[in-house]
Structure 1
């Protein structure tokens, strides 16, 4: 027999390649497992790539081991048979990766797969040995041959089990894979060298592939370089994909959290965290659909807090807000989990309650009134409010969302008119008012589209009687049936329905257009004043609406004054300060309207970026020397002077009021004494004589 030797360096290299191939196989198993669908293109890509990388790794370990083998004769390898052994290695690797990517790996499947894989690896090894084409052929020791096949099967079983167990990305899995790769690599190498030990070469034998085949000298270098390149590329691709997947997953989680937070903000009241109008409408629609299918009942209850405004005005909005939160918690705690408690705004709450029969609404309403009647402790204040509740039952009191809302609202107002602190079911006698409200709401929805709104303008005069400083734009509704309708009759309905937002945007746009017309006529020193409702002031798109109106009509920002009521400006002061500052940064003037009627902290008032204070007409109406109103007006003027604000008094109707307001230092006056609200075509005609008189004086 020919005496064989081994190149120790190549033996070590073969072991390292086996370990690296094992680690690559374990990593590829994770990449295949992370794909959501094993039949997807991504899973097939990783399976094919992993099979190629793992197959080349195992095959190259085998061939490097054969290249480390030395005989005292020239050796070579048949290229086609060598390629066949490589194909066997890739096929076996693909089968192994497919096996460990399955959801489960029962013992029977494990043993069956290990037998197939072990025989495949042994087949690769002995096919590679056959590539030497020895003459006479290689004699194999039967015991060592069987031992090598057994080692291949056992090593395959261990490798499959380890790969299946370590295919998920869990804590410390990288270290576990590294250790497992060493075990698997040693087992693969052990199988190979056991198979090599089983081979015996007769004396005088020659290698038929030494001349025609591939010589081992450069083949060793080529195989090592190519194998390391393939395995390195496979590992780098896997690592980069894992990082990309991790970042994608993190981004997806962040987007999901942001979407959840946005949904929470859009569908819930920011103060009480209760469902808001939008979410309530959706749940009301669902309740109608459910009750319609099952012929069941539910109650829609409107609840308004009696006495809340007095608390809010006397103790401040921060106390009022905390009281609303306390009320919301009590209401939620007293209702069932599947019932809905929503807040529409202010002190208005709506409760949706599933009923077995209509009469079941009565104890629920009694419970609501009772829990609200209990005293509240807010910031060491013992506060008491009561509840006025109106109840509409589906389908008896309405089969549509609008009918139920209007009827429950009507029942609630009936409770208020009847003495408050109680509840009333909707009755047909309330229908006239309810349907009247509904008709007004329907008319209001189309009024803007049909161009039924008009603006009239009331002049503002420099104290005492001129010249004109500008005008305040006042809204009127040219109703097709009721004629001219003042804002007092429809603004509250517009606020409650949300229509005030588009109506307010139209008012702003039309006022800017009219002011630009007056500038073209030479009145560039005038200012146009526009009132902002509380809902409009809270609109996140307010700044965009103001900017768009100014740009559309090329109106200088300094020609526009936005009037915000004192109570609106002082509600949620942090947000109000931010909104007002953004408006002021545009160059638009800010006027605090109805000053003196709300509850203002001087600390916040001095920080407001306001230019003007408007004294409420309620103080001007009963004005005379020595009265309480006169003292209040004098104090407001003094305060405004201290804060460097213009002082405007509205509602001036008598010369006595005019004289007093001038004497205490008001900068501008507005009222019926000097000019009523007029359409724009009459405005200039009416003020020209007044302008002339002011110039002559």
Structure 2
């Protein structure tokens, strides 16, 4: 028999037994326990003669089955444990996550700057935060919106959003009894509930009100400013259609600039505050008093009988501001000029009223200040003429329409020509020659005088450079020319360009120049004096502080104003004033010139009183530069003045006497 493995590769032990069970043939060897036997009959000629038995061991199957059982048990245990324990772990993680999210959510809620409350579909409180409690107190748990805060009348704060208006979120702003202002925002949420946030905007509202007040009020005086003035006008102008009268008064302070410049800006600020108080005291509570800027004020008077009420108010204001002001122990007197305009339906804007008020104000100033004028339509025509004059003046500079005329300065006793005063003239292409008295104030006001003054300096110096060496040129300076700080450089450039010696240039200033800024102006004058330029004070005796300025600055000459010369022989006191001024000049080592000399009598008196130089129509009117050579030729030079013989002198009694012409003195100095 042959040992054959079964189909699985395992060993098989076989044997043959007879019908009695006796082993006939058997393979040797043992099989591991357990053993499984299979028996098959051996048939010969259709008859069973023996049995074939085959045995195989089941140990590998048992081992594998055991392993499978163990593995299955382990897997089953693991499966049981997984089914048993995994949901708990997932649940724990979920709960932890939910707890963390809840804590974060609560932290976010409690750290909101707004109070928050969430209501369900039945308007019961579900969630609220710490800020809500701080704002309104702790609500009852699950309380309905209608009874959320017992004892508080805040029901209007907890009105749900209108379902008919789903986009409506703003619940409005509400002011509480304690003064707090609450801004509410509402929003419907899924599940038919709603959420509301509450923000305390009290401080924001107050800050906004403060900013709004600052934007509409003057910081210095507390009065309404131009912005609030316009807003007020927009509110009251419609009343004109209902027949209510309305008047606007435009005020400008007289003399404020002098106070500001001489006493300083702090004193000027204090004066503006004091003026504001007087304006409020002089008006009704229903009148609006506004500061438009600088020293400009405006008053709106509504609901009063016109023009009587506006006229009465203007009179009160003029009188109130005429009274002296005490500025830290120093008394200051100013005044005011007022333009009054009565509104009607034809004046539709605040700008039109202000414009017409300014026109009337301009007329009040032209009338001498310290008064008021009511706007009349004819005034507008004059203003249009003034505006046209501004346009013409600017064109005159561009087209060089100006001319410089020259009036001689004559030595009083010797008749020697000492120099010329340069006098500006405007040759208008349509109006002809225009006097400086008409256009110089306008040029100063609109800022053109600096350019004009610089041109006059260059032109006059260039002309004088061609005259004899003893002839000086005198040029008037505007106070505005001292403001820009370039006057010294302009003088230096004019002298250098013309090749003119500084000693031949004489600059004339008025007291108003020194009123601007004493220290700065005196500094400029000293720098000019150091160049060798002569400085004279014009219109001496017409101001208030001339003597103090003579003490502070060494003027080379003082000019007696023509108003004193004009009244010689007539008005009592004129000779005494001239005598005093001449004596003062001699004592201070200054030449004295009298201007406006028109008669031989005036000349005689001035010679007797000791004036050094004379100027006026008696000698010549201002003439164009082409006539200067003839004027120079008509007058003796300094060296031959003595050869002219005796002069006719008229004394105080009006009697003539002959005197010899001096050989030295003022003529020699000239």
In structure 1, the residue matched to 2:293 is 342
Change (3 A) 1:660 1:682: same
Q: CA deviation at 1:440?
A: 1.3
For 1:500 and 1:368, locate their aligned partners in 2 and report how far apart those are by CA, in whole Å.
Answer: 34
Query: Is contact 2:562–2:595 with CA below 8 Å preserved after alignment?
Result: yes
1:686 maps to 631
TM-score, normalised to structure 2's length? 0.51
Instruction: Give the equivalent residue in structure 2 for 1:474.
Output: 423
Counterpart in the other structure of 2:473: 528
User: Alignment length, in residue pairs?
Assistant: 405
> Structure 1 residue 649 and structure 2 residue 594: aligned?
yes
Q: Work out the CA distance in 2 between the residues paired with 1:642 and 1:316.
A: 34
* Structure 2 contact 253–296 (Cα < 8 Å) conserved: no
SS of 1:591's partner is: strand
Q: Which residue in the other structure is 2:447 paired with? A: 498
Matches within 5 A, 1:336-415: 340-343=291-294, 349-351=295-297, 369=318, 372-373=321-322, 375-377=324-326, 386-390=335-339, 407-415=356-364
Asked whether the equivalents of residues 580 and 609 of structure 1 are also in contact (C-alpha less than 8 Å), the reply is no
Note the residue ranges of structure 2 that are not aligned, 5 or more in a row: 1-103, 105-218, 239-245, 281-286, 645-670
3-state DSSP of counterpart to 1:648: strand
Q: Secondary structure at the match of 1:476?
A: strand
**Separation (CA, whole Å) in 2 of partners of 1:603 and 1:566:** 10
Distance 1:604 1:316, change over 3 A: farther
2:495 matched residue in structure 1: 550
1 or 2, which has the higher strand percentage? Answer: 2
SS of 2:466's equivalent in the other structure is helix
For 1:292 and 1:623, the matched residues in 2 are separated by 57
5+ residue gaps, structure 1: 1-107, 109-272, 276-282, 344-348
The equivalent residue for 2:171 is none
1:303 aligns with 2:251: yes
Matching residue of 2:574: 629
Higher relative contact order (CA 8 A, sep 6+): 1
Contact 1:412 1:423 (C-alpha < 8 Å) held by counterparts: yes
CA distance, structure 1, for counterparts of residue 624 and residue 370 of structure 2: 45
- Structural mapping, 1:40-119, within 5 Å: none
Q: Structure 2 vs 1, CA of residues 577 and 385 (structure 1 numbering), >3 Å: closer, same or farther?
A: closer
Deviations 1:641-665 (A, max 9, x none): 1111111111111222212222222
Could you say which residue in structure 1 is the equivalent of 2:272?
328
Separation in structure 1 between the aligned mates of residue 481 and residue 350 of structure 2, nearest angstrom? 28
Q: TM-score, normalised by structure 1?
A: 0.49
CA distance in 2, matches of 1:326, 1:274: 9
RMSD over aligned CA atoms reads 4.8
Question: Against the structure 1 CA distance between its residues 448 and 567, is the aligned structure 2 distance closer, same or farther, given a 3 Å change threshold?
Answer: same
Q: Which residues of 2 match residues 150-161 of structure 1 at below 5 A? A: none
Task: Using the TM superposition, give the Cα deviation of residue 382 of structure 1 relative to its aligned residue in structure 2, in angstroms.
Answer: 6.5
Helix, strand or coil for the counterpart of 1:691? coil
Contact 1:391 1:426 in 2 (8 A): yes
Deviation at 1:682?
0.9
| Cα distance, 1:391 vs structure 2 | 5.0
Q: What is the DSSP-based 3-state SS (H/G/I as helix, E as strand, rest coil) of the residue aligned with 1:581?
A: helix
Offset from partner CA, 1:581-605 (integer Å, 9 cap, x none): 1211221110100111112263441
Q: Is the 8 A contact 1:570 1:600 kept in 2?
A: no
- Judged with a 3 Å threshold, the aligned counterparts in structure 2 of structure 1 residues 291 and 328 are, in CA distance, closer, same or farther, namely closer
Residue matched to 2:190:
none
Residue of structure 1 in register with 2:551 after alignment: 606
Cα offset, 1:564, TM superposition: 0.3
Which residue does the alignment assign to 2:394? 445
Which secondary structure does the structure 1 equivalent of 2:433 belong to? strand
Q: Does structure 1 residue 583 correspond to structure 2 residue 531?
A: no
Q: Secondary structure at the match of 1:587?
A: coil
Q: Tell me, yes or no, if the aligned pair for 1:654 and 1:673 is still in contact at 8 Å.
A: yes
8 Å contact kept, 1:584–1:609: no
Of Structure 1 and Structure 2, which has the larger fraction of its residues in helix?
1
Distance 1:397 1:558, change over 3 A: farther
* Residues 1:671 and 1:445: Cα distance change in structure 2 (over 3 Å): same
Question: Match for residue 264 of structure 1?
Answer: none
Kindly indicate whether the alpha-carbon contact (under 8 Å) linking 1:376 and 1:384 is maintained by their aligned counterparts in 2.
Answer: yes
Deviations 1:217-266 (A, max 9, x none): xxxxxxxxxxxxxxxxxxxxxxxxxxxxxxxxxxxxxxxxxxxxxxxxxx
Residue 517 (structure 1) aligns with: 466
- State the SS of the aligned residue for 2:623: coil
Offset of residue 537 of structure 1: 2.9
Give the secondary-structure state (helix, strand or coil) at the position aligned to 2:399: coil
Question: How has the CA–CA distance of structure 1 residues 674 and 426 changed in structure 2, closer, same or farther, with 3 Å as cutoff?
Answer: same
